[in-house]
Amino acid sequence: MQRRLFYAIVALTALVAATLIITYQNLVVSQYKPKIELNPTPLADFQLTDQYGREFNLSSVRGKPIFLFFGYSNCPDICPLVLLKYSYVLNNLGDRANDIAFIFITQDPWRDTPETLKTWAGRFDNRIIALTGSPDQLESVWKKYNVPAIYTDEKGNRIDPAEYARSGKPYFVTHVGFVFVADRDHIVRFALSAEMPQEEYLQAAKYILSR
C-alpha cells in the first residue's frame, strides 16, 4: 500500500513538473516580440542547387517556416556565427527541428560549389540547406531579395570575383548580415541580426512555429 502511494506521488509530481515546464515555455513564446519587424512580404520563389547536387525550389519546403541567410563559406566572421546559431536552434528544438527550413544561399558561386558547401555546412549541421548555382541564377535571386554584395581584395579594392577565383587569389564579400524569418505561408515577418544571442534565435524559431 505504501509503495503504491509512493509511486502515485512520484507520478503526480512528474506530471505537475511537466505541466509547469510546458506552461512556462508557452508563456515565453507568447511574450516573445521580434526586435526587427518587417513589412509582411511574400518570399520570392527560386530554383537553385543544394549541397548534395539536388535541385531545390522554395516550394520544396511548402508549409514550413523559414530562416533565410545570404553569405559565403569563406566568410571570416558573420556567416559561421549565423550557422552556429542555426545549429544551436536545430539541436534545441527537439522533435520540431524538422518543422523549420534553415536555408543558406551563397553570394560567392565562383568558390561555393555544392561539394564545398556540403563540407562547410556539415561542420555545423547537416540539416541546414546550403544553396548555390550559376552566377546568373544567383544574381537573379539576390535582386529579388535586395541583398547586394561587394567583392574586394585584401586591401579593400573592388575586384572581379570570377577572375580572382580562377587565379586562386583570396577575396572577400561584403554582404547583408540579417536572417530573414518567414512564417509557414512563406511571408517574411521579421529579421534577426548576426549579433543577436543564440537564445534569441531559439525563441524566434519557437515563436514563428506557433503562428
The predicted-structure confidence for 59-118, as pLDDT tens digits, reads as follows 999 999 999 999 999 999 999 999 999 999 999 999 999 999 999 999 999 999 999 999
Global confidence as pTM: 0.85
Task: pLDDT band for 13, please (50, 70, 90 cuts).
Answer: very low
Is there a contact between 71 and 78 (Cβ–Cβ < 8 Å)?
Answer: yes
For strands 150-152 and 129-132, give the pairing.
unpaired
Q: How many CB atoms lie within 10 A of CB 136?
A: 8
The confidence score (pLDDT) of residue 18 equals 35
b/e sequence 33-63, b meaning 16+ C-beta within 10 Å: ebeeeeeeeebeebebbbbeeeebebeebee
SS3 66: strand
The confidence score (pLDDT) of residue 27 equals 42
Is there a contact between 70 and 109 (Cβ–Cβ < 8 Å)?
Answer: no
Is there a contact between 130 and 50 (Cβ–Cβ < 8 Å)?
Answer: yes
Q: Cβ contacts of residue 15 below 8 Å, gap of 6+?
A: none
More confident residue, 5 or 78: 78
Work out the average pLDDT over 32-43. Answer: 96
Instruction: State pLDDT tens for residues 134-192.
Output: 999 999 999 999 999 999 999 999 999 999 999 999 999 999 999 999 999 999 999 99
d(CA 126, CA 74): 18
Is there a contact between 205 and 93 (Cβ–Cβ < 8 Å)?
Answer: yes
The confidence score (pLDDT) of residue 200 equals 98
The confidence score (pLDDT) of residue 152 equals 98
Query: What is the C-alpha radius of gyration for the chain, rounded to an integer number of angstroms?
Result: 21
The confidence score (pLDDT) of residue 29 equals 53
Sign (positive or negative) of CA dihedral 103, 109, 114, 116? negative
Residue 74 Cα distances to 79, 144, 172, angstroms: 8, 24, 8
Work out the average pLDDT over 4-27. Answer: 40
What is the distance of C-alpha 163 from the center of its chain?
30
Work out the average pLDDT over 14-30. Answer: 40
